[in-house]
Amino acid sequence: MRQKIKKAGLGLGCWYALCLSGLAPVPVMAQTAQTSASQKVIRLVANDQDILRLSQVPQRVAISDESVADVQILSASAGQRGEVLLIGKRAGTADLRVWMPGRTNPDRWTIEVTSQVQQQLAQAGRPMSAQVSSAGQQSLITGSSPSLLDHQDAMAAARSGTGPDAPVLDLSEVSTSGMVQVEVKVVEVSREVMKDIGLSANAIGGKPWSGGVNLLPKALTGGLSLGYNSSNFSATLNLLEQNGLARVLAEPTLVAMSGHSASFLSGGEIPIPSSGGLGTTTVEYKPFGIGLTVTPTVLSPERIALKVAPEASDLDYSNVVQMPGGGVMPSLRTRRADTTIELGDGQSYIISGLVSRQTAAAVKKIPFLGDLPILGSFFRNVQYSQKELELVIVVTPRLIKPIQKGATIALPGGRQEKLDDAPNAWGYFLLGRHGYEQMPGFSR
């Protein structure tokens, strides 16, 4: 019996020693409740409310940020469950603590309030990839957006949560490529000849045809039947150019970042003198020719919004201005367009309808008799002709990426065989020097 008491006393002594040293597993109810309650999250929408149901009526509640959400204890009869009304005010996060009767430590919840824009986007099947949070009166956007549209949705959600005048700190990034290569082809066609053969630019570059086929006369195609749609526009253009029905004025390729502009000008500058003060003359140069300004905006990895502003101008000697010191100054005949389109990567768009008209007079007369003052009109004939030229612009944007570091770039003539190679010795001996002569400007 004494041995059992001694063993029990020894066990109690060890247990007290462990308790004093802090190594014994002493159960702390407050820490366990606090850990489990920290995982509770309540999600609300701004200007919306919800009810938190509890087992008892709480003694008091507290929230860390009253500008994000508001709480109110609902009255209840004795023996009924407790209810707390939660009202979302603006986008953000707040900490809710509830003290229950007979307990010292409160229960905790995390209140996450999202804006109405975020809820509407989620219901429409367009959930945002970037994260929008609020700290005080400022919104914060973090993460990555797959497209510019998704980034715009995140900005709208951030401003709707804190107000349009509140600052927004944007730390997110758009993962799409921001480099766009725009291939432009400016073509001038004669409308008179096109009408004579029954062809128009709308038929060439319109919507893809499902069953209809528009044919050129056999005299031009040699019996070849060619259908006109957006996919074979290059073949159609080459055919028209070979027969003198079209003329390519410019074919630039521009590269610009998303949201920035790139311009191109093929022509010259005409000096325009103007009188200054004290009898001086100043000269101002005005550009003319084929000009183009493009501004691409990458909306998504498949869609590109493109603002195109082409301009074609040339000198008009039929409308000149007499200069004070002698001589004439021609005017400028300008055709200009400004449009915004949305295309897919590699798709083409055709802009047409820029028409210029030139009227010419041809006089046919009998020599000497047609120059008489009054009777000359009977021996003279004047024929007026009008020439119409239409400007057709083909635009093709493409998303591009830079070449990786260390990649080998194939240069023109890089695969050309060298003259001192062993397999090339007999060819150089038989064909002579000119058989393997290198072209100027190509590498050896």
- Whether the predicted pLDDT of 31 surpasses 60: no
Rounded average pLDDT over 125-144 = 67
What are the pLDDT digits (tens) for 389-437? Answer: 777 888 888 888 877 888 877 776 666 555 445 555 555 555 555 444 5
- Whether the predicted pLDDT of 118 surpasses 70: no
Strand partners, 294: 262, 308
**CA distance linking residue 103 with residue 353, whole number of Å:** 81
Nearest to 145 by CA among 118, 173, 117: 173
Coil vs helix vs strand at 255? strand
Q: Which position has the higher pLDDT, 439 or 289?
A: 289
**CA distance linking residue 66 with residue 304, whole number of Å:** 43
At 407, which helix (H) or strand (E)?
Answer: none
- The model's confidence at residue 200, banded by pLDDT at 50, 70 and 90, is low
- CA 207, 307, 290 angle in degrees (round to 5)? 90
Read off the amino acid at residue 300.
Answer: S
Strand partners, 135: 138
Among 39-53, 271-285, 353-367, the range of highest mean pLDDT: 39-53
At 283, which helix (H) or strand (E)?
Answer: strand 281-298
What are the pLDDT digits (tens) for 311-351? Answer: 888 888 777 777 766 777 888 888 788 888 888 888 888 87
- Tokens 């004439």 correspond to 328
Average pLDDT, the chain: 70
Which domains does the chain carry? 1-32 (no CATH), 116-174 (3.30.70), 180-400 (no CATH), 407-444 (no CATH)
CB 86 within 8 Å of CB 68: no
The tokens for 305 are 């919004």
**CA distance linking residue 51 with residue 43, whole number of Å:** 11
Q: Which of 8-17, 271-280, 334-343, 368-377 shows the lowest mean pLDDT across its residues?
A: 8-17
Question: 311: burial class by Cβ within 10 Å (0-12, 13-18, 19+)?
Answer: buried
Rounded average pLDDT over 103-123 = 77
Nearest to 233 by CA among 266, 264, 252, 208: 208
What are the pLDDT digits (tens) for 241-289? Answer: 777 777 888 888 889 888 889 998 888 888 887 777 676 778 888 888 8
- Whether the predicted pLDDT of 231 surpasses 70: no
**CA distance linking residue 268 with residue 214, whole number of Å:** 39
Coil vs helix vs strand at 34? helix
CA max distance for the chain: 160
- The model's confidence at residue 226, banded by pLDDT at 50, 70 and 90, is very low
- The model's confidence at residue 25, banded by pLDDT at 50, 70 and 90, is very low
Q: Which of 1-15, 92-106, 350-364 shows the lowest mean pLDDT across its residues?
A: 1-15
pTM: 0.52
Would you mind telling me the total number of residues written for the chain in this entry?
Answer: 444
**pLDDT of 423:** 52
Strand partners, 51: 85
| Residue 226 CB-half CA count within 13 A | 24
The tokens for 437 are 């002569």
The tokens for 442 are 């190509």
CB 344 within 8 Å of CB 301: no
